[in-house]
Amino acid sequence: MAEYIGTNLQVSIQKRMRERHVWIEDTPEIANGGRTLNFLDPDKMGWNRVGDLTQEDGVAVFMALPLEETRANLQERLGANWRTPHWDVFFGNAESVLETCNSIISSFVLPVGWRIDSLDTPTERQIDDIQNLNIAVGIAPYPAYYCRGDVIPCVSTCIWDDKCRLVATAMANFRYHPNSRLKGHLYAGSVSVLPDCQGMGLGKMANAALLVDSHRIMGWTTVLEQVKPDNVPSRRMIEACGLTKSQELATILVINSDDQFSA
């Protein structure tokens, strides 16, 4: 298990996010994304302050905001040497998502000897398995303190095979301030399936179980998930769980290095 994980830049930001958390808890315009600082309302926070923080970290996430307007602001204020890849954003209300996900769960049959667990206090071994599976499929893992729920409530759903291998996982957290623009929203994602088990519907099952169990634990009203525009399988999985793509909003990662971050 890695308390902090990734490149030197990624680790330094994860440590900084932990150090900043008391301030973040008191600031509705931002959220602790574990891996990066999330900006929810840069206009309200003030673009000068936003620019200073982004320059300090070398990376930041602008969560569920108008794509072209936000990208233009970022390029104007930060300069052309900053990359601005984006993710499509999907939303779903609890009532419709839970109905859809419960239907998925009831119709899915795990192979004999396999099991599924949703963990709000995973062990060190379980966190290690989750981080390694994330890395294996190209997803930047969360630091261990974040997975444990040390700063915000988190749930990890895990599917284990009959040899106790972790074959699929997904994670959700309740990161948004109760007075923020995204109050009551659950952030869900990091769906990862072991390469030799892909094509079995395990990602959809892990995501569905995650949404149902996290609602029982956290009582969210809306769920937010996101996916890169060219990731068709993940988009279909999210839509199958009852979420709908926003026609207006996207999440933008702004970065001035070659490090790979997940939004």
Q: Provide the greatest CA pair distance for the chain.
A: 57
Question: pLDDT band for position 262 (50/70/90)?
Answer: confident
Which residue type occupies 74? L
Domains located in the chain, CATH noted: 8-255 (3.40.630.30)
The pLDDT confidence band at residue 49, using thresholds 50, 70 and 90, is very high
- Which residues, other chains included, contact 178 with Cβ-Cβ below 8 Å and sequence gap of 6+? 184
DSSP state of 80: T
Provide the mean pLDDT of the chain.
96
Where does the pLDDT of residue 258 fall: very low under 50, low under 70, confident under 90, or very high at 90 and above? Answer: confident
Instruction: For residues 74 and 61, give the distance between their C-alpha atoms in angstroms, rounded to a whole number.
Output: 11
At 222-233, the pLDDT tens digits run 999 999 999 999
> Percent of the chain scored above 90 by pLDDT?
94
Which DSSP string corresponds to 129-179?
HHHHHHHHTT-PPPPHHHHTTSSS-EEEEEEE-TTS-EEEEEEEE--S-TT
Alpha-carbon distance 192 to 157, whole Å? 10
For the chain, the residue count is 263
Q: pLDDT band at 1, cuts 50/70/90?
A: low
Q: What pLDDT is stored for residue 2 in this prediction?
A: 81
The model carries a pTM of 0.95
What is the C-alpha separation between 156 and 141, in angstroms, rounded?
Answer: 12
